[in-house]
Amino acid sequence: MDNQTSFPITPEGRWQPSPAHAPFVVATIVVAVVMVWLTGMGQNALAANLMLVDPRQFPWEAFSTLAGRIDALSATLAGGQIWRLITPDFLHFSWTHIIFNSVMLWFLGSQIEWMDGRARLVTLFVVASLASNSLQYLVSGPLFGGLSGVVYGILGYCWLSQRRRRRFQFPPALITFALVWMVIGFTPLPEMLGLGRMANEAHLGGFVAGLAVALLSPLRGKRWG
């Protein structure tokens, strides 16, 4: 047993941290759940303050072209509203949406925070957020939200990092399911099933960002032994 841990870790990495081991993940989930309540699941005026760009500040025609979306984003960032690059993560539109994202964030995010360190997880969170939110906005405009892009970033990170050095509790079928679901999201099937339109570009952007962080991050740290 590692003398810096309070629970055994097998060679296969079969363990799950407690909330005390992953305070950043816990805080992220708590904030997201609170914002679901405060925004009325994205239905009140507060929700616009979490979007990448406030749609009330621009004519809707501005979001109909890529150039218009870029101009609106540039004006927003020039006004100092940098937080908007991250805050769409905390905007959810149903309890199913927030519950699924929270479960996945806890299951894998807590392992990253405990095994690879909080700094690595925060870096992954920020990079995945920037990539997923920016790509989704550039393709579809500001009406989206959720932690799904971050979750896909965590999935990509765990999958590739696990191949470099096995340590996470990561069922192999999970990445297959996630990729199949992402592909399905680019088809009309979710809307035909009444699931609504999915933030497909956010999923793709987050996943690629997670792969990049795994590829570029050094395999070292206090948990490596």
Q: For domain 21-216, which CATH number applies: 1.10.357.10, 1.10.10.10, 1.20.1540.10, 1.10.1740.10?
A: 1.20.1540.10
- Residue 11's identity, in one-letter code, is P
Report CA-CA distances (Å) from 98 to 30, 91, 116, 166.
11, 9, 25, 29
pTM score, whole prediction: 0.88
Measured between alpha carbons, how far apart are the two ends of the chain, in Å?
10
Active site residues: 148, 203
121-169 pLDDT, tens digit per residue, is: 999 999 999 999 999 999 999 999 999 999 999 999 999 998 888 888 8
* Nearest-10 Cα torsion for 148, 154, 159, 161: 160
Mean pLDDT score of the chain: 87
Residue 191 has pLDDT above 90, yes or no: no
* Domain chopping of the chain, boundaries: 21-216
22-60 pLDDT, tens digit per residue, is: 999 999 999 999 999 999 998 899 999 999 999 999 999
Q: Give the sign of the dihedral formed by CA 102, CA 107, CA 112, CA 114.
A: positive
